[in-house]
Amino acid sequence: MLVHVLLEIQWRLRCLWKYLLEVGLQEHDFESIWAQIEDIAIKTVLVALPEMRQDFLKIAEYSSYNTYKLLGYDLMIDNDLQVHLLEVNGRPELKDHVLDKAVNRPMVICSYLHK
């Protein structure tokens, strides 16, 4: 069903949902996929929380500004619609490629606007 060779490894969420609709997924499939993604994000942050707190405390010693941690998640959705965590990037690259501009920059801007 989802077995395709994809040349791009990074997708805008909107494009991913559109593609999944085109291959026949239903709304309940999206809900299941999104719930799995949320679960992965929550669990990985909880695992890294002690280290992240230490980093934030170090920064707070010399800065009174708010701090943020930007994480990059590499995920894979298999043919059974199971989401798998490939890696979490603690310092994701924000390259100057067209796709990076389309995906990452709006996300960064949005994260600063919704404090």
DSSP class per residue in 33-90 = HHHHHHHHHHHHHHHHHHHHHHHHHHHHTT--S------EEEEEE-TT--EEEEEEES
Ordered domains of the chain (ranges, CATH): 13-113 (3.30.470.20)
Please report, in tens digits, the pLDDT of each residue of the chain (115 residues total).
444 444 445 677 778 888 889 989 988 999 999 999 999 999 999 999 999 899 888 888 888 777 777 788 888 888 899 999 999 988 776 666 676 666 666 666 666 665 4
Task: Give residue 33's pLDDT.
Answer: 94
- Can you give the pLDDT at residue 85? 95
